[in-house]
Amino acid sequence: MTTKNDPAAAERSVAVERNNIQFAVPAAVNRRGRRGLLALAAAGLVAALAFSQVSPLQIIPLAQGYNPDHNVILHLKGATDVLQTDLIFQPGGTTGWHIHPGPVVVVVKSGALTEIHSNGCMTVHPAGSGFFEDANEVHNVVNQTGIVTEVYATFLSPAGTQPLIPAPDPGGVCRNWHEK
């Protein structure tokens, strides 16, 4: 081990330290060779520091989902409030029947949500899925699993409106056997 206060060790090697990076040069190398190795060590140090810099942008994923839809249109007119939320649904938790005054982008981080549409048909959104809710679509969302479900939702609403507006149960009965 080389220390800065040990003259014998300094004769054995020259250490260049920066950010805990050490480049050791054997003392047996002549002065000309030592300068060349020190230049090489300095170049290596500069390269190491360049790669250790923090990027000016960090993208930290909170949740990621996939949606197979090929025709997603988010249409907004006028000033818009944007609200990003982390929604925690306990087992059996529900939003109640409601509408949104603007579109909503949803990613299911964990668990699963069952969306009950106004026609009574249901869509289950498992963890890792993403889905979109259209403005003024009456629906209800329920956690029918036995575990906590966590969801990230981004509400795009006309300025000054509530992102979720209660609505009466439309009483629809699902007649489409393809949806569950």
Taking only the tens place, the pLDDT of each residue in 89-145 is 999 999 999 999 999 999 999 999 999 999 999 999 999 999 999 999 999 999 999
| Rounded alpha-carbon distances, angstroms, from residue 159 to 15, 82, 101, 156, 162 | 62, 9, 10, 9, 9
Whether the predicted pLDDT of 86 surpasses 80: yes
Whether the predicted pLDDT of 157 surpasses 70: yes
Helical residues (DSSP H) of the chain, grouped into ranges: 7-12, 31-51
Residue 67 or residue 112, greater confidence: 112
The pLDDT value recorded for residue 56 is 87
Whether the predicted pLDDT of 44 surpasses 80: no
Phi-psi region of 68 (alpha: psi -120 to 50; beta: other; left: phi over 0): alpha
Mean pLDDT across the chain: 80
Whether the predicted pLDDT of 151 surpasses 50: yes
Of 96, 101, 85, nearest to 156 (Cα)? 101
The rounded distance, in Å, linking the Cα atoms of 153 and 147 is 19
Tokens 């981004």 found at: 154
Residue 82 or residue 53, greater confidence: 82
The pLDDT value recorded for residue 143 is 98
